[in-house]
Amino acid sequence: MNWRLRRASADDAALLSLVAGATFLEAFAGVLDGADIVAHVARNSSADAFARYIGEGAVATLAEAKQGAAPLGYTLLTAPDLPVEPRAGDVELKRIYALAPTHGQGLGPALMAQAVSDARAAGHHRLLLGVYGGNVRAHRFYTKQGLSVIGERRFLVGATWHDDLVFARDL
């Protein structure tokens, strides 16, 4: 294990933004339009956006390299913003990403375990997340982590609408 996890603060917004842009590009280059990727990242993954999320009570976890502390992945837990019937105690795992070189090293499961732990510690009872409908690899990962599909949504990336699946897991 060449990485460690830690709670991110608003002071880490630039690190979160950097890894968010890189991982979104890795995940969707060749799938989504390049201009849409740039617009989406600029709007939703800027340092200001992360500082605002954290300032509004979101919980972020940063994965970083043990050597040099470069950002490698992250999670972001927020109030739910998904088109499903809300329940008391819901929380949304708005983001969970890890850079491709870390895939297969246990970072994804570690990030998920930390998100579940943080959600439980905050008194939440159900974890929700939306994921691109065509991302079969992510679907397999989420299913393996105990989540199941409970709905669908349309999601705007840049100027293009995409179909997403909504997953949930009781905590």
Residue 124 and residue 169 in contact, taking contact as beta carbons nearer than 8 Å? no
* Structural domain total, the chain: 1
- 151 lies in some domain: no
Q: What is the mean pLDDT of each run of 10 residues along the chain (171 residues)?
A: 94 98 94 91 95 97 96 97 94 97 95 98 97 93 97 88 95 97
Q: What is the pLDDT of residue 71?
A: 97
Q: What is the pLDDT of residue 160?
A: 83
Residue 93 and residue 75 in contact, taking contact as beta carbons nearer than 8 Å? yes
Residues of the domain holding 96: 3-130
- 140 lies in some domain: no
- 103 lies in some domain: yes
Q: What is the pLDDT of residue 144?
A: 97
- 162 lies in some domain: no
Model's pTM, two decimal places? Answer: 0.94
Look up the CATH number of the domain holding residue 110. Answer: 3.40.630.30
- 165 lies in some domain: no
- 163 lies in some domain: no
- 144 lies in some domain: no
Burial class (CB in 10 A: 0-12, 13-18, 19+), 2: exposed
